[in-house]
Structure 1
Amino acid sequence: MNDIAVIGFAQSSHSEALVPVFEQALQDAGLGRREVDFWCSGSSDYLAGRAFSFVSAVDAIGAVPPISESHVEMDAAWALYEAYLKILAGEAETAVVYGFGRGTAGDLNRVLALQTDPYTVAPLWPDAISLAALQARLALEAGLFTEQDMADVAGGDLAHPYTATPLREHDVAPVADGASAVVLAARDRATRSRERPAWITGIAHRVDRQGFGERDLTTVPSATAAAVDAGLGPDVDVAALHAPFTHQELLLRRALGLGGGVRYLPNTGNAMFSGGLSRIGAAAAEIRSGRARTAVAHATSGPLLQQNLVCTLGGLS
C-alpha cells in the first residue's frame, strides 16, 4: 500500500487560464509535466454552458505525450479522491488534480436550484441564499449557536443590513471564478521531490438524502461519518472548511468535533468546482510550511451540505 502526499498546490481567480496554474503547481512540486502519470479534473458542463467543457481544458495539458486522464462532474476534491485511489492501487506514482468554474457567468444562486429535488423543490426555483437562510434559522431556533457567534466567525457585526434573514452580507461568501491544482505523489517520489510533504493520513466522503424533509438540516451526519472514516482525531492544529455560509461553518465545526484550539483558515469566496480542492491545498500548505503538524480539510457539494468529503493530513509519516 502506498503512502500518498500533497507536494504541490496553486490557485487562481481566473477559471479558464489553466496553463499558469499547472506551471505553478508543478514548479511547487518539483516535477516536470512529463513526470505526471495521471490527470484528473472536476468541473461542470452545465455551469460552463457547453458540452464536454472539460475536454477543452485538457488542451492546457498538451497533446504530447499522450496522458492518462479522468474527470468528475463535481468539485475537484472528489477528483483528488479518485487520483488518491489511482496511486493507492499502484496504477500511478504522481497525479495532478485540478478544478475550475466560472460562477460569475450567470445567476449562480438561481442556477443552484437545479441541484435540488427535481419534483418537489426545483420547480419552485428557490435561490441558494434563501435556502441557506432557512437552515440558519432552524439552527438558531435549536440553540446550536447565536447570531453573535455567526458575527464572530464572519468578522462582521450585528448591525449590518440583512440580505436574507437571518443572514447578513458578511455571512454569504461572494460568488467567485477560480481554478486550482494539487499535485499528489506516492512515498518514494514525494520524498525525492519535497523535503516536507503533506501526507494524507485519511480521506473519506459520504452523502445525505437529497430531500430537505428527509434529513435534519441542523446536523451534518455525512460530514460526521466521513470524519470517522478518515480517522479524524482530537489533535488538529489547522482546519480548512469549505462553507459558503457562516452558519454552515459553525455546523461543520460541531459535526467534525473540532475543539477550541483549532486555527481555521479563512475562505474568501465561493469558487464553484475548485473551492473544495483549494481547501485541501491550503491545509497541505500549512503542513508543508511547518506552520502545523496536523490538519483537516473539508469539501462540500450539493444543497445545504448534502455531500461532504474530509481529508486529514500530517507532516510526519
Structure 2
Amino acid sequence: MAATEPVAIIGWSVSPMERRTDKTEAQLLLDVITDATAHAGISRADVDFTCAGSCDYVAGQAFSFVQNINAIGAWPPKRDSHVEMDGAWALYEAWVRLQLGDLDVALATGSGRSSTADPATIYPMEMDPYYLAPLGADAVSMAALQARVLLDAGLVTERQMATIAARTRRDAVANPHAQVSGEFDVDALLAGEYVRDPLRRHDLPPITDGACAVVLARGEKARELTDRPVWITGFAHVAEAHQPGVRDLRVSTSAARAAKAAGVAEGGPIDVAELQSAFTHEEPVLTAALGLGPEVAINPSGGPLAANPIMATGLVRIAEAARQIRDAGKRRALAHATSGPCLQQNLVCVLEEGR
C-alpha cells in the first residue's frame, strides 16, 4: 500500500557474507546495528522501535531471537518486536508502526547462520505438516519442480538460466559483500552436473551466514537527520496457497498483486530492481509478474545467487536498492523479498530519491 505517513530509509549496513562465520547471530547483529546507526547519524538511544527477523529452525533453538536483543541494547527501554520471517518483513512491521505517528525512528534487522545445520533437513520441517513435510522435499527440490514446469512450458531455457547466473556473479565482482563472484562461461556452466534436475550448481544460491540492519525515520525527522533520505513510496506483501500443487507455478500471482498494491506502475519508470531470486529460473517469473522491462537493471549487486543469508536476504535487497538511489544516482528502485515454496509469498518495496 502507499504510505500515508512519509517514512524514509536513512541508514543501513550489510555484514560480510561468508560460508561459515565464527560469530554468533548476536555478534553479527552488533556489528550491523552499530554501523547502520552510525550511517544514519544516530545512536542506539535514538531508536524508538526495533523489529528483528530470524528463524528458530535455522538457529537450532527456541526463542533464539531473545539473545539477539543484546545487540540492540536494553537501555533506554524501547518498544521491540520479532517476526519469524526474513528481515524484509521486520522492516514492513517497522514501517507500519511508524505510520501511527507517535514514534520517529525505527530499526529493522535480519540475521541467519545457515552453515550451522543441513538445510535439506531443516526446511522440510517448516512445511505444511500433513501434505508437504512428510515428503521431505527441501527448498531446492521444490525449486526444481517449478523450474521443470517452466522449462516444459517453454517459458525459460537452461541456457537462459545459466546466462542469468553468469551475469549476476559478474555483477557481484563490484560488491564487497558478495560471497560468490567472478567471470563464468555459460557453456562451461551448462556442462556441470545436475544437483536436482533440472537445476545445476550455478542455478542455486550459496549457503551463507550474514546479517543486515536498516534504519527508518518518519517525515520531518528523516529530513532533520539526513539531506539524502530514501523515501518508501509503496510497500505491500501478498501470500497465496502454501500448497504448490494448487497454484500455477508458471506465474507468481502474489508478486503481481504485491506490485499493484505497492503502486509500482503508478509513479514512473523503475530504474533498478533488487529481487530475491535465489534460483535462476525465478528471475524471469518475477520480472514478468512485477512488470519489469528489459531496460530495468536487475540485481546489480549480484543478488541471492552471490550471497544468500537466510532471514536477511530480502532485507539486503532493500538495503541494496536504497544504495542504488543514494550512491548510484538512481531515481526509483524496487526491492523484492519472498518466502515459502515456489515464490508463495512476495513483498515489494518501492523506493525513491530524497525530496
| Range class of TM-score, shorter chain | over 0.9
Which residue of the other structure, out of 303, 310, 314, is the alignment partner of 2:348? 310
> Partners of 1:127 and 1:56 in 2: how far apart?
28
Aligned residue number for residue 169 of structure 2: none
Aligned residue number for residue 261 of structure 1: 295
> Partners of 1:61 and 1:127 in 2: how far apart?
33
Deviation at 1:60, TM superposition (A): 1.4
Q: Superposition pairs for residues 292-303 of structure 1, below 5 Å?
A: 292-303=330-341
CA contact 1:135–1:217 (8 Å) conserved in 2: yes
Aligned residue number for residue 5 of structure 2: 2
Aligned residue number for residue 54 of structure 2: 43
Deviation at 1:46, TM superposition (A): 2.2
- Structure 2 residue 169 is the aligned partner of structure 1 residue 137: no
> Partners of 1:209 and 1:241 in 2: how far apart?
21
Deviations 1:211-242 (Å, cap 9, x if unpaired)? 12111111110000000000002601110001
Structure 1: segments with no counterpart, 5+ residues: none
Aligned residue number for residue 248 of structure 1: 282
SS for the counterpart of 1:153 is: helix
Aligned residue number for residue 11 of structure 1: 14
Deviations 1:73-122 (Å, cap 9, x if unpaired)? 11111111110011111131110100111111111133111232211221
Which residue of the other structure, out of 195, 202, 213, is the alignment partner of 1:163? 195
Which residue of the other structure, out of 247, 269, 289, is the alignment partner of 1:235? 269
CA RMSD of aligned residues (A): 1.3
Deviation at 1:290, TM superposition (A): 4.2
> Partners of 2:250 and 2:26 in 1: how far apart?
36
SS for the counterpart of 1:184 is: strand
CA contact 1:115–1:303 (8 Å) conserved in 2: no
> Partners of 1:63 and 1:16 in 2: how far apart?
13
Aligned residue number for residue 84 of structure 1: 95
> Partners of 2:120 and 2:293 in 1: how far apart?
32
- Structure 2 residue 315 is the aligned partner of structure 1 residue 277: yes
Q: Which moved more, 1:152-161 or 1:234-243?
A: 152-161
Aligned residue number for residue 327 of structure 2: 289
Deviations 1:123-156 (Å, cap 9, x if unpaired)? 1201221221111010111111211211111114
CA contact 2:227–2:354 (8 Å) conserved in 1: no
CA contact 1:238–1:296 (8 Å) conserved in 2: yes
> Partners of 1:251 and 1:29 in 2: how far apart?
35
CA contact 1:239–1:264 (8 Å) conserved in 2: yes
Q: Superposition pairs for residues 167-246 of structure 1, below 5 Å?
A: 167-233=199-265, 235-246=269-280
Aligned residue number for residue 99 of structure 1: 110
> Partners of 1:218 and 1:113 in 2: how far apart?
22
CA contact 2:270–2:333 (8 Å) conserved in 1: yes
> Partners of 2:354 and 2:36 in 1: how far apart?
22
SS for the counterpart of 2:130 is: coil
CA contact 2:26–2:70 (8 Å) conserved in 1: no
Which residue of the other structure, out of 30, 37, 52, is the alignment partner of 2:63? 52
CA contact 2:244–2:341 (8 Å) conserved in 1: no
> Partners of 1:146 and 1:126 in 2: how far apart?
24
Amino acid corresponding to residue 206 of structure 1 in structure 2: V
> Partners of 2:12 and 2:120 in 1: how far apart?
28
SS for the counterpart of 1:98 is: strand
Deviation at 1:300, TM superposition (A): 0.6
CA contact 1:9–1:181 (8 Å) conserved in 2: yes
> Partners of 1:63 and 1:257 in 2: how far apart?
43
CA contact 2:26–2:69 (8 Å) conserved in 1: no
> Partners of 1:109 and 1:225 in 2: how far apart?
30
Q: Which moved more, 1:111-120 or 1:178-187?
A: 111-120
